[in-house]
Amino acid sequence: VTCLTCQKGCVLADGAFGWCHTRVNEGGRLYSLIYGEVAARSVNPIEKTPVYHFYPGSKWLSLGSVGCNFRCPGCQNWQCSHWLHGPMGTQYLSPGESVAVARGWQCAGLSWTFNEPAIWFEYTLEGAKSAKAEGLCTNYVTNGSLSRQAFELIAPYLDVYLVDVKAFSQRTYRALGHLLDYAEILEVAQRAKWQGLHVEVVTNVIPEINDSDEELYAIAGWINDNLGRDTPWHVTKFFPHHRLRHLPSTPIERLESACAIGNDVGLWYVYLGNVAGHPRESTCCHVCKEPLIRRHASDVLENRLIDGRCPACRSEIPGRF
Ligand code: SF4
């Protein structure tokens, strides 16, 4: 059986598991082992994912399961995402129940995050349909590895596509995500933009892995040329974790120069993440530089937008407010 869910495109013999270990071929049929198996859930501001230009400060229900199709060596959620077999420590929550929980907490929507949502695709698809039917929004926090076919199925039910562009070289993608070719990640992100989803991009800047000027210029340039200069780019601080704990955390100066690179290629909104209190957490108007949204970590302290416009020069700010 060929699994068409993500870009790994595993071919599974009878009895075999896919690369993510969450799908198995039993007698010629492919089964998901994690449908509805929730390993982590919490209610957070959408900034936590991080998304900054979609109803800032709104509360969202975040859900994640176990397993991943990348298993990055420095993953911050590796306890869940590097699950292979054995006890999952999960709790079953049907798609309808997930929507009811979100409603109960007066959330604006559902985020699938913590691990890669593509690997419990069927669950996120049903959850997204239920959420939209109930008037909630949906946010896919992804490493970008949905196959084209899977993306086309779920796109009509998604509002936000927060894609992690980890690098801009085959070498780095191989080292981080065991992925041979990242071209489809870029293509699916472009499709998301063309189809009117709200798209933001995040890059965790890891010393010695993806922190060269060359790689950061390449990512920023691609965003500018293909998603548009109005697409927010988050460059976030890496903290040593798991199999990358021998590396240092990202120096602030490197993150600030990554922000400068983003602005240099033409991006309007480049944010510095995982450094609470840094001025680059906040939003300033891309035209007149008027401060618009003041943040601290994931909290919105002040929002001065009026009907989605800058109160000083009246320019329309990209996003939904
Ligand atoms: S979801 Fe991806 S990694 Fe998992 S079995 Fe399917 S193609 Fe392979």
- For 219-237, what is the HEC assignment? HHHHHHHHHCCCCCEEEEE
Output the pLDDT for position 179: 86
Give the atom of ligand 1 at the shortest distance from the alpha carbon of 17. Answer: 5
Based on the number of CB atoms within 10 Å of its own CB, is 243 exposed (0-12), middle (13-18) or buried (19 or more)? Answer: middle
The dihedral built from the CA positions of residue 214, 246, 70 and 254, taken in this order, carries a sign that is negative
Q: Tell me the best of 69, 121, 184 to mutate to test the pocket of ligand 1, counting ligand atoms within 8 Å of each CB and taking the most.
A: 69
Output the pLDDT for position 76: 86
Tell how far the Cα of 110 is from the centroid of ligand 1, in angstroms: 23
Tell how far the Cα of 8 is from the centroid of ligand 1, in angstroms: 6
- The residue nearest atom 2 of ligand 1, judged by CA position, is 6
Report pLDDT digits (tens) over 239-248.
998 899 999 9
Output the pLDDT for position 290: 98
Output the pLDDT for position 211: 96
Output the pLDDT for position 156: 98
For the Cβ of 166 lying below 6 angstroms from any atom of ligand 1, the answer is no
For the Cβ of 5 lying below 6 angstroms from any atom of ligand 1, the answer is yes
Tell how far the Cα of 63 is from the centroid of ligand 1, in angstroms: 19
Q: Checking DSSP bridges between strand 59-64 and strand 40-45, what pairing results, if any?
A: antiparallel
Q: Which residues contact 243 (CB under 8 A, 6 or more apart)?
A: 73, 74
Output the pLDDT for position 88: 81
- The residue nearest atom 6 of ligand 1, judged by CA position, is 3
Chain position carrying tokens 């495109």: 9
Q: What pLDDT tens digit does each residue of the chain (321 aa) get?
A: 999 999 999 999 999 999 999 999 999 999 999 999 999 999 999 999 999 999 999 999 999 999 999 989 988 888 888 888 777 889 999 999 999 999 999 999 999 999 999 999 999 999 999 999 999 999 999 999 999 999 999 999 999 999 999 999 999 999 888 888 999 999 999 999 999 999 999 999 999 999 999 999 999 999 999 999 999 999 999 999 889 999 999 999 999 999 999 999 999 999 999 999 999 999 999 999 999 999 999 999 999 999 999 999 999 999 999
Query: pTM of whole model > 0.75?
Result: yes
Tell how far the Cα of 55 is from the centroid of ligand 1, in angstroms: 33
Report pLDDT digits (tens) over 52-109.
999 999 999 999 999 999 989 988 888 888 888 777 889 999 999 999 999 999 999 9
Output the pLDDT for position 83: 86
